[in-house]
Amino acid sequence: MPFWPSVLLALAVVTGVFGFSGLGAASAPVAQVLCLIFGALFALSLLARHINGGSPSRRSRHELYRPVRASERSGLTR
């Protein structure tokens, strides 16, 4: 069986057990609190990004991680 269908089948079985056994109802308040906490952290991160003026760099990943030439390194001059 391919990987992802087997993972989704296992997830469906686990959620079915939680749904029919009553464990889902017992864990609902915890899920609500975690949703509020992570929602607030997400909103704060969006606000901080807006205050700081967007992304720190508009350069592409290729420009950010290009190899440094020996002549550009500090302390190495010929």
Question: What is the share, in percent, of the chain residues with pLDDT greater than 90?
Answer: 13
Residue 74 — pLDDT band, cuts 50, 70, 90? low
Burial of 47 (0-12, 13-18, 19+ CB in 10 A): exposed
Q: Per residue in 41-71, pLDDT tens?
A: 999 988 888 887 766 555 555 666 667 676 7
Tokens (6 digits) for 69: 């030439």
Q: How confident is the model at residue 19 (pLDDT cuts 50, 70, 90)?
A: confident
Q: What is the mean pLDDT of the chain?
A: 79
β strands within the chain, DSSP E: none
